[in-house]
Structure 1
């Protein structure tokens, strides 16, 4: 039994180390975006978003960087919790696509709610940092 547990631990740790440096940095960037969306901190939102951000909602509304930041920083769109599942990352040069499921509790306009969405994020490397260039959400079929 100890050998099986040790083998599983070694396999899981090799998966973590199998990530490239860019993939590790993207995981950190996605986490930074998630935390900024929960906190609503304007500076953190501005730092993670690219200048030419195109932020698409599941209902079809598309916002630029200024509108995205204002919506979250003002509390109009208020994420209380965000849980990301089934995340995948594909890096091609200075561009990356991150997909995941977003399960969140919200408090938009003082009204509690829940969202369950599929998300596609497009990231662009600017210097050493990954910036969110585009986001498109879609409703999950359940």
Structure 2
């Protein structure tokens, strides 16, 4: 009976430890939420704060943007997100780098034209002066 109880406790401990997020993983998840908010309500300051100067932003159609183009397209409404839902998110931290994978489902109004999209997204983050910044993004259609 004791060995069964001990085995159950050990299993529970291992399971909880494998599910728990580290502080950095939680901070990266918060950064993803900030990115989502900035894409829904873009301002020069919130976009500039979340993305690194070296940003490379890949779209599912093959278009690659640098930070300036990424910001301009959101600020001008050429790329306009009305609603964004993120699901199936995983976060992995390796030193001062992290990657995030999730499914993005969105209602858009790009250049005033309503639409929807569903993408599988990979985000690469780097920790700079204690803050997680977006370094790279690539999306593919689901």
Q: TM-score, normalization: structure 2?
A: 0.86
Larger radius of gyration: 2
1:126 aligns with 2:128: yes
User: Over residues 20-77 of structure 1, what are the superposed CA-to-partner deviations in whole Å (9 max), with x where a residue is unaligned?
Assistant: 1101101110000000000022210111001100000000000000000010011110
Partner of 1:5: none
Partner of 1:45: 47
Gaps of 5+ in 1: 1-10
**Structure 1: distance between partners of 2:77 and 2:42:** 7
1:100 aligns with 2:85: no
2:56 aligns with one of 32, 54, 57: 54
**Structure 1: distance between partners of 2:85 and 2:44:** 21
Question: Cα RMSD between the aligned structures?
Answer: 1.7
Aligned length: 128
- Alpha-carbon deviation of 1:113? 0.3
